[in-house]
């Protein structure tokens, strides 16, 4: 496409407000940090190269701070097609070197921005820590922006390299799946859900079970495995260690683990950064190979989850653990059993200790262990592999180390968080739904709270039937370690309570900062606000359809619940977050009577 004024891309670096002032942003951005990419034909066939060439000019005029932000000393803007392209050509060789140095320098940074799209004259942020992978996100005004590309809304772009999205929309936000397709949900008001649901395998269990396969050479089989993005990411992480896997049917996974000498001890850095559950690889890799180097895990953006508890636990087992350039590095010739008291009943820390201790020399006693059903599921699988474990599901777990383990053939338990999502959807819209494949005894406190809200239940051994036929009542809820109300339930509960009669107080006692979705709920007209670690929910008679953004898995599910209750039409964007933890959520809700269409934005 020949150059014209409407096809100029603009790169902004280090802007406090990464959008032009015409979009309504406060005038805090440094106007001097601008440069135009004037050759649209170049950008449409290779946006990454064009950005790199232009950003090199910015880098050459600026100093880099310790946090990875570029500070500029002079105006770095060119105008006109020939001038811009000449500038790009002069800096092309410099670009690759500068960008490579910048990638390496910020690679170990602890924070990483996630993908998103924000409608501020189509402001697109390219994070240098993801620059090498071709991941592109779009953000609205935010402090500490790194690189931003501004393009006209009428001109989508295409990536030609680096595995990035093949197409992208200039909408406010859209989830970008690994296949490059940008998706959103269009949801209409629902007057009730009816039917039955078979619950998928638990995400918070299967990822740990996949990690546990590292402990035994041979062929492992896992049944009831959900087809979700996080499972595919974990498969890729295992592949980077030399562990292969393939599907045998829709939900049966085969995992082939080589001998220890053929196992790598350092999983792929960027894959590990993409999911928080990857921290559970520490224990099994260390136990199997005697050493491990793993990036500080990433995942959903809703507050810090310190890894100190994992370091202390592995150190107690005899490992030498230290942090090196954004990674945890641990070594141990032989892990040795110990008496260990966890400062907090963390389920991932309990998982790590279990997997490290099963082949350690001697006995390990874990006090204040997590009691979640997913921890029990892992312990049962390890016992199938030949481990000696007592007390799983209680606060005191005893592990007697064995010399070696055998492969497992295990069925993953049902996902109680997914079940809770359907329960709140019924509560918000009305109707009757039977939910199978999950043990109601793992959700008793939640069921008690929902009964107080006005839902009625019939419970069986592996199923429950929920009915909502009247007005919802406000209730106070606080998140606590199991068997308390799980923090993962909270966003969906808040969405449901936003149409309940009265004032509810929902308290978050586990993770700070998990309130980002409240801004999105307010777009529907919900009366919700945060005070410290509490959420005050004043029920309103009705929600109205809105365009909203999913910032993490459960926030996305909460927005689906709110969209079903809202009058009119809603668009839930960034559904790739939802697909990280839900197997066919939209399709299942449609079967229950909802009107949901998956669209390309």
**Catalytic residue list:** 300
Q: How many CB atoms lie within 10 A of CB 384?
A: 14
20: alpha, beta or left? (left if phi > 0; alpha if psi -120 to 50): beta
Please say whether the beta carbons of 526 and 566 come within 8 A.
no
Alpha helix ranges (H) inside 443-574:
444-453, 490-497, 518-523, 553-565
| 3-class SS of residue 337 | coil
- Tracing tokens 């359809």 back to the chain, one arrives at 545
d(CA 54, CA 12): 10
Q: Given the DSSP bridges, would you call strands 527-531 and 547-549 parallel, antiparallel or unpaired?
A: unpaired
Q: In 235-362, at which residue ranges do the beta strands (DSSP E only) sit?
A: 244-247, 253-257, 291-295, 320-324, 327-331, 339-341
Rg from Cα positions in the chain:
25
- Dihedral over alpha carbons 210, 216, 219, 223 (to 10 degrees): -40
| 3-class SS of residue 29 | coil
Please say whether the beta carbons of 433 and 193 come within 8 A.
yes
| Exposure of 245 in the CB half-sphere (CA atoms within 13 A) | 27
- Tracing tokens 């202390």 back to the chain, one arrives at 312
Strand order in the sheet with 527-531: 477-478, 503-507, 534-538, 527-531
Q: How many CB atoms lie within 10 A of CB 293?
A: 18
Quote the tokens at residue 132.
Answer: 């090498």
d(CA 146, CA 68): 8
305: which residues sit within 8 A by CB, 6+ positions away?
276, 511
What's the CA angle centered on 133, arms 127 and 134, to 5 degrees? 70
């Amino acid at each position: 496409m020949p150059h014209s004024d409407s096809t100029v891309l603009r790169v902004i670096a280090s802007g406090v407000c990464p959008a032009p002032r015409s979009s309504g942003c406060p005038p805090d951005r440094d106007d001097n940090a601008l440069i135009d990419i004037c050759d649209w034909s170049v950008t449409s066939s290779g946006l990454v190269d064009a950005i790199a060439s232009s950003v090199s000019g910015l880098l050459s005029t600026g100093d880099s701070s310790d946090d990875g932000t570029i500070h500029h000393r002079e105006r770095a803007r060119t105008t006109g097609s020939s001038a811009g392209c000449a500038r790009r050509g002069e800096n092309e060789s410099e670009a690759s070197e500068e960008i490579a140095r910048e990638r390496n320098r910020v690679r170990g940074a602890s924070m990483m921005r996630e993908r998103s799209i924000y409608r501020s004259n189509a402001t697109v942020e390219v994070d240098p820590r993801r620059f090498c992978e071709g991941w592109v996100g779009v953000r609205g005004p935010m402090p500490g922006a790194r690189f931003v590309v501004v393009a006209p809304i009428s001109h989508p772009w295409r990536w030609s390299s680096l595995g990035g999205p093949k197409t992208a929309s200039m909408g406010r936000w859209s989830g970008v799946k690994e296949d490059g397709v940008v998706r959103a949900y269009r949801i209409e008001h629902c007057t009730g859900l009816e039917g039955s649901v078979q619950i998928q395998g638990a995400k918070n269990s299967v990822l740990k079970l996949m990690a546990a396969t590292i402990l035994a050479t041979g062929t492992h089989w896992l049944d009831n495995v959900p087809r979700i993005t996080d499972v595919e990411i974990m498969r890729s992480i295992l592949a980077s260690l030399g562990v292969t896997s393939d599907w045998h049917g829709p939900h049966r996974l085969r995992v082939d683990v080589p001998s220890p000498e053929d196992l790598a001890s350092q999983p792929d850095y960027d894959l590990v950064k993409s999911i928080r559950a990857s921290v559970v690889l520490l224990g099994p890799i260390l136990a199997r190979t005697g050493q491990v180097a793993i990036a500080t895990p990433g995942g959903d953006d809703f507050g810090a989850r310190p890894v100190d508890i994992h370091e202390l636990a592995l150190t107690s087992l005899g490992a030498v653990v230290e942090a090196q350039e954004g990674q945890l590095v641990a070594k141990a010739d032989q892990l040795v059993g110990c008496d260990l008291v966890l400062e907090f009943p963390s389920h991932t820390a309990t998982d790590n200790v279990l997997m490290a201790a099963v082949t350690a020399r001697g006995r390990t006693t874990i006090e204040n262990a997590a009691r979640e059903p997913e921890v029990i599921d892992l312990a049962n699988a390890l016992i199938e592999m030949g481990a000696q474990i007592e007390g799983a599901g209680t606060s005191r777990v005893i592990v007697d180390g064995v010399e070696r383990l055998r492969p497992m053939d295990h069925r993953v338990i049902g996902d109680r968080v997914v079940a809770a999502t359907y329960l709140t959807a019924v509560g918000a819209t009305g109707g009757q739904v039977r939910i199978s494949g999950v043990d109601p005894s793992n959700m008793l406190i939640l069921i008690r709270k929902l009964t107080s809200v006005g839902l009625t239940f019939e419970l069986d051994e592996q199923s429950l039937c929920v009915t909502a036929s009247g007005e919802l009542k406000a209730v106070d809820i606080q998140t606590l370690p199991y068997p308390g109300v799980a923090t993962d339930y909270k966003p969906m509960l808040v969405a449901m309570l936003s149409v309940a009669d009265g004032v509810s107080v929902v308290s978050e006692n586990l993770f700070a900062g998990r309130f980002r979705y409240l801004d999105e709920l307010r777009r529907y007209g919900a009366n919700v606000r945060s005070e410290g670690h509490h959420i005050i929910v004043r029920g309103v008679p009705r929600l109205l359809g809105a365009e909203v953004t999913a910032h993490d898995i459960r926030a996305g599910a909460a927005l689906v619940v709110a969209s079903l209750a809202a009058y009119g039409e809603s668009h839930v964007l960034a559904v790739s977050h939802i697909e990280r933890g839900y197997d066919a959520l939209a399709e299942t809700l449609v079967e229950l009577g909802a009107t949901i269409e998956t669209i390309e934005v």
